[in-house]
């Protein structure tokens, strides 16, 4: 079976879970063609990501003449498909209320994608995130391209779903994947309960063989480790402030931050302001092997974000047998609780400091038990091979019944 994966930007250091999913599906016999609208704007640091880039067909890179040529050819050879796609395109533009030029790009990309997908013999398209890549897949379908599905993660996807036409994308998709129960509920709110059976929970996953339990001791040298893009929603400046508070009684406390981004100057300024340069280390982006090594010697993962879906790095830390500190937002409480870490309110520096102090004063034996429980949960719910097999089975199933989809649309209209 030949499946197309369409992403906005691919590969990215922060979305290794997509690469893992693709590889797991290939291990199970699926042939995957990678498509992306554009390459990631930052330098790749992992060799596997670099290899993925060479396998990816980019719709936009140096292809303006080809995009325009495909559009002309499609208009001449497929007027009915162009009319269907244009009607849906008009809905997308109307719902967005702005962005005429980007929406023109979506249509051009959809035409080129449709032609390329048929040329490649693609029987189904899957994309991650319900944003522009899902719009392009939907327009491609109306042109006569393959059916599509998408995985929704949140949280940004659920901020203004009317403008993003999330309900329309759900209605037109063959099925939709939610990464958590929380995510499934948000999709149902956007599209209507008539689509409930079309929404399937398939969690992100990790290759558990790559994340054997760490034997590193939970001693006074074990740092807290934070992994993720440097952006306001990751709460790095609050972490720095909390470190300053904890250091007053635990001067040995250390936090290693892996990741980079536009918010780095603010984080560096906070480190200088609170005089914790000896306690907080910014490592920038690192390859997967380095991330595993740092997580494997952590006292705990530290991820007190304001907004998340269900971060894969939590799965990685727990699989390594390390507890996690995170916030009870979105899907995180479905994985983390007091038995495998500390779960705290988002936005509270005092709670971050309290949880860090708790981790520093918890006996190593107890930390090990917490890590073991976390690993048990990951093995049960987030094994990439099992979850990819579930996704592949959904792709192989017969199409979603059109009559039920129509009843869902009617239900959505009544709810309004």
Q: Helix/strand/coil (H, E, C) string of 86-143?
A: HHHHHHHHHHHCCCHHHHHHHHHHHHHHHHHHHHCCCCEEEEECCCHHHHHHHHHHHC
Residue 37 has pLDDT above 70, yes or no: yes
Set out the domains of the chain in order of their start, with CATH numbers: 2-205+384-415 (3.40.50.2000), 208-381 (3.40.50.2000)
Residue 402 has pLDDT above 60, yes or no: no
64-95 residue pLDDT tens: 999 999 999 999 999 999 999 999 999 999 99
Q: pTM of the predicted model, to two decimals?
A: 0.90
29 near 1, Cβ under 8 Å? yes
What is the Cα–Cα distance from 276 to 270, expressed in whole angstroms?
A: 9
Residue 173 has pLDDT above 70, yes or no: yes
What is the Cα–Cα distance from 176 to 188, expressed in whole angstroms?
A: 11
Residue position matching structure tokens 């599509």: 148
Residue 408 has pLDDT above 80, yes or no: no
- Calculate the average pLDDT of the chain: 94
Rg of the chain taking only CA atoms, in angstroms: 23
56 near 129, Cβ under 8 Å? no
The band of 399, judged by pLDDT with boundaries at 50, 70 and 90, is low
Supply the pLDDT for residue 14.
86
332-342 residue pLDDT tens: 999 999 999 99
46 near 13, Cβ under 8 Å? yes
Which letter does DSSP use for residue 197 in this model?
A: G
What is the Cα–Cα distance from 290 to 284, expressed in whole angstroms?
A: 11
Please give the average per-residue pLDDT across 94-111, as a whole number. 96
What is the Cα–Cα distance from 259 to 270, expressed in whole angstroms?
A: 16
């Amino acid at each position: 079976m030949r499946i197309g994966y369409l992403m906005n930007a691919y590969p990215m250091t922060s979305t290794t879970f997509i690469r893992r999913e693709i590889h797991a599906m290939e291990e199970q016999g699926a042939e995957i063609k990678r498509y992306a609208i554009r390459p990631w704007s930052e330098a790749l640091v992992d060799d596997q990501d670099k290899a993925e880039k060479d396998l990816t067909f980019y719709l936009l890179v140096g292809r303006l003449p080809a995009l325009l040529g495909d559009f002309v050819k499609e208009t001449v050879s497929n007027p009915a498909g162009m009319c269907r796609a244009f009607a849906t395109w008009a809905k997308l533009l109307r719902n967005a209320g702005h962005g005429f030029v980007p929406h023109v790009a979506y249509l051009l990309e959809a035409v080129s994608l449709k032609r390329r997908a048929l040329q490649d013999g693609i029987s189904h398209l899957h994309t991650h995130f319900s944003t522009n890549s899902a719009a392009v897949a939907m327009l491609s379908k109306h042109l006569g391209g393959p059916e599509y599905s998408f995985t929704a993660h949140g949280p940004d996807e659920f901020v203004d779903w009317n403008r993003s036409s999330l309900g329309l994308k759900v209605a037109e998709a063959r099925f939709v994947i939610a990464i958590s129960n929380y995510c499934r509920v948000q999709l149902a709110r956007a599209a209507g309960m008539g689509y409930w059976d079309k929404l399937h929970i398939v969690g992100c996953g990790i290759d558990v063989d790559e994340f054997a339990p760490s034997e590193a001791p939970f001693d006074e040298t074990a740092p807290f480790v934070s992994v993720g893009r440097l952006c306001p929603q990751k709460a790095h400046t609050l972490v720095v402030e909390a470190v300053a508070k904890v250091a007053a009684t635990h001067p040995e406390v250390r936090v290693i931050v892996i990741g980079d981004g536009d918010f780095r100057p603010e984080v560096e300024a906070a480190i200088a302001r609170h005089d914790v340069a000896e306690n907080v280390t910014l490592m920038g982006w690192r390859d997967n092997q380095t991330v595993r090594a740092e997580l494997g010697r952590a006292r705990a993962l530290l991820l007190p974000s304001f907004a998340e879906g269900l971060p894969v790095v939590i799965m990685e830390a727990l699989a390594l047998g390390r507890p996690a500190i995170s916030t009870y937002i979105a899907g995180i409480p479905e994985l983390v609780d007091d038995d495998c870490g500390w779960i705290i309110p988002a936005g509270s520096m005092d709670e971050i400091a309290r949880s860090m102090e708790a981790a520093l004063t918890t006996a190593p034996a107890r930390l090990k038990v917490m890590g073991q429980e976390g690993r048990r949960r990951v093995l049960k719910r987030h094994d990439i091979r099992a979850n990819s097999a579930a996704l592949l089975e959904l792709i192989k199933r017969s199409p979603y019944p059109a009559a039920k989809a129509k009843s869902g649309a009617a239900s959505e209209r009544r709810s309004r």
